[in-house]
Amino acid sequence: MIKPPRRAVTRFFVPFIDVLILLFGIFLLMPFVSGPSTPDAPDAKPAAPKEPLPENVPELQRQLTEALARLARMEKATQARLNDRLSVRVLQIDRKDGTLYYFDPDRQEIRIAADALRLIDRQRTATSKTGGVKDMFFLILLPTKSSYPTQEQVTQIRQWFKAVPIGFDTANFGE
C-alpha cells in the first residue's frame, strides 16, 4: 500500500522560491547600486569651450534686445484673434437638388466654375479692403437627412475651390 509523505513538498518549496525571487531582485539592482565603472580623476579640468566668448558687450546687448523684441512680436502675432487673421465665407447646399449657394444679401447660386471663381475674387477684394493679410476659408454646410450632395457634386465643388482652403460640415438648417 502506498503511503502519503509525512511532510508536504510545498513546506520546502514556497520559502525556497521566495529566496530565489529575492536573489533575482538583488541581481537586477546591482548595476544601479554599484559606482561608476571608471571613476574620473578629481584633478581633471573641464574642457575648454571651442570658441572664445565674444568680448563686445554692447553688440551682444543690442542683439539681445533685438531678439527679445522679435520674440515679443511673434508672441503677439500668435495670440492675435482668429478673426483678425481669417476671413470665413459660409456656403450652403440645397437639400432638394444639391445646388451650392450663399447669401449676399440675396441667395446667389454657384452652378459653374466661373461662379465659384467670381466669388473667390470678390472675397479676395473684400478681405484686402479691410486691411491686413487675411486667409480665406470657405465653409460648406451640408444638409442633414438629405441625399445631397452626391459624391460627384463634392468632387466638382472641390475642383472649383481648389485654389483656396475649404471645409465641409453638417448643419441643421432649413428643417
Model pLDDT, residue 74: 87
Chain Cα centroid distance, residue 33? 42
Distances (CA, A) of 85 to 75, 77, 111: 14, 10, 29
Cα(144)–Cα(52) distance, integer angstroms: 69
Q: How confident is the model at residue 83 (pLDDT cuts 50, 70, 90)?
A: low
Query: What are the two backbone dihedrals, phi and then psi, of residue 158, each rounded to the nearest 5 degrees?
Result: -60, -35
Cα(95)–Cα(145) distance, integer angstroms: 8
Q: How confident is the model at residue 171 (pLDDT cuts 50, 70, 90)?
A: low
For 1-20, what is each residue's pLDDT tens digit? 787 767 777 777 788 888 99
Model pLDDT, residue 175: 47
Per residue in 53-78, is it b (16+ CB within 10 Å) or e — as a string?
eeeeeeeeeeeeeeeeeeeeeeeeee
Residue 144 or residue 102, greater confidence: 102
For 84-123, what is each residue's pLDDT tens digit? 777 888 999 988 888 999 988 888 899 999 999 999 998 8
Question: Which residues have CB under 8 Å from 172's CB, separation 6+?
Answer: 144
Domain boundaries, given as residue ranges, for the chain? 82-171
Output the average pLDDT for the chain. Answer: 82
Query: What are the two backbone dihedrals, phi and then psi, of residue 173, each rounded to the nearest 5 degrees?
Result: -100, 155
Neighbours of 3 (CB within 10 A): 5
Predicted TM-score of the model (pTM) = 0.51
Q: Is the pLDDT of residue 173 over 60?
A: no
Cα(15)–Cα(36) distance, integer angstroms: 35
One-letter amino acid of 17: I
Model pLDDT, residue 124: 86
